Amino acid sequence: MSLDLFGNITPIETALAGVSLLKEFALKNEAILLADLATIVTQAPFRHMVTPSGFAMSVAMTNCGELGWVTDRQGYRYTQLDPLTQASWPAMPASFLTLSRAAAFTAGYADFTPDACLINRYQTGARMGLHQDKNERDFTQPIVSVSLGVPAMFQFGGFKRADKALSFPLYHGDVVVWGGDARLRYHGILPLKANVHPALGKVRINLTFRKAG
């Protein structure tokens, strides 16, 4: 821990309380993760969901696991069925479950069992405005995020939308565990810059593992 001249924890350390950044944690399982992702999207394709106010999101989304996060004119919520097909969301593959549990364990959460994995696809220019994740039942449960493909600038703010945000890049293979005081902070992704990743091409994929129900 570094101290500032007055002996206090620095503002950056305060802002990052509850955040565990595991650089390249997903890399050793990259091949199986990408193969399992390809299977999921044949069953539950990426789609641009509509916000309650009627705008199509620039990020394309799908889900796997017992529950999937959706938005439409009715609001934000978790569902058991994919509204596009009326089928259950694809099961969470063992590769996803094992990776997310290992990351949570490393960050100090010994019994994290996600029931939902939201899968976000960013093409060039896609963004996610500052928001809080509040559709889950238990905010003492962390969220585990896995970044794949081209890098993105992540914004991490305070507990009110207008609070000043830090920005830092997230790269292919980075896994972040968001728990404790981090769990209810505003966060977002700046518009994705044009870029190419050798394995994924021009896109960024983000997996977020949640205990929603």
Cite the annotated binding site for Fe cation by residue number.
131, 133, 187
Residue closer to ligand MD3 by CB (options 82, 133) is 133
**Interface residues for ligand MD3 in 138-177 (CB under 6 A)?**
143, 145, 176
Residue range at the interface with Fe ion (CB under 5 A); choices 67-75, 88-96, 102-110, 128-136: 128-136
Is residue 128 at the binding interface for ligand MD3, with CB under 6 A as the rule? Answer: yes
Residue closer to ligand MD3 by CB (options 97, 126) is 126
Q: Which residues are annotated as a binding site?
A: 131, 133, 187
CB of 3 to ligand MD3, least distance (A): 26
Residue closer to ligand MD3 by CB (options 8, 213) is 213
Per-residue x/- marks for Fe ion, 58-77, CB under 5 A?
A: --------------------
Is residue 37 at the binding interface for ligand MD3, with CB under 6 A as the rule? Answer: no
**DSSP states of the chain as a string?**
--B-TTSSBPHHHHHTTTEEEETTTTGGGHHHHHHHHHHHHHHS--B--B-TTSPBPSSEEEEESSBEEEEETTEEEEESB-TTTSSBPPPPPHHHHHHHHHHHHHTT-TT---SEEEEEEE-TT--EEEE----SS-TTS-EEEEEEES-EEEEE--SSTTS--EEEEE-TT-EEEE-GGGTTS-EEEPPPPP--BTTTBT-EEEEEEE---
Nearest in space to 173 (alpha carbons), one of 205, 141, 203, 128: 205
130 binds, among ligand MD3, Fe ion, none (CB under 5 to 8 A by kind): none
CB of 54 to ligand MD3, least distance (A): 20
Q: CA-to-CA distance for 57 and 50, rounded, in angstroms?
A: 6
CB of 90 to ligand MD3, least distance (A): 18
Q: How many CB atoms lie within 10 A of CB 191?
A: 13
Is residue 208 at the binding interface for ligand MD3, with CB under 6 A as the rule? Answer: yes
Residues that bind ligand MD3 (rule: CB under 6 A) add up to a total of 15
Q: CA-to-CA distance for 101 and 114, rounded, in angstroms?
A: 8
Query: Where do contacts with ligand MD3 occur on this chain (CB under 6 A)?
Result: 118, 120, 128, 133, 143, 145, 176, 178, 182-183, 185, 187, 189, 206, 208
Query: Where do contacts with Fe ion occur on this chain (CB under 5 A)?
Result: 133
